[in-house]
Amino acid sequence: MADNGNDLPEQRAGFLARLSATETIIVAIIAMIALAGLLLVGKGFYMKAKAELFAAEKHAARNVVG
């Protein structure tokens, strides 16, 4: 099994190139749903942090006043 210098390595087609049009659309839809889910999780963390900051400011203002 000697290596031949004339043999070119096989080039593999990309992942999406091997899929049909319908499969590519399905993969794109799944990716968009996953991205939307990540955005919702991020928005939830933002809302929680904002609420905690607001509560801390309200608590600090209450301590200054009374």
pLDDT of 63 reads 81
Please indicate, yes or no, if residue 8 is contained in any of the structural domains.
no
Tokens 């031949």 label which residue?
4
Residue 29 lies in a domain: yes
In the predicted structure, residue 53 carries a pLDDT above the cut 60: yes
Look at residue 9 and tell me if it is in a domain. no
For residue 59, the model assigns a pLDDT of 86
Tens-digit pLDDT profile for residues 5-48: 565 556 777 877 888 999 999 999 999 999 999 999 999 999 99
Structure-block tokens of residue 10: 């096989």
Q: How confident is the model at residue 50 (pLDDT cuts 50, 70, 90)?
A: very high
56, part of any domain = yes
Q: How many domains in the chain?
A: 1
Residue 51 lies in a domain: yes
Q: Is residue 2 part of a domain?
A: no
Is 52 among the domain residues? yes
Which one-letter DSSP state was computed for residue 7? P
Phi and psi for 42 in degrees, rounded to 5? -60, -40
Q: Residue 40: give the domain boundaries.
A: 19-65
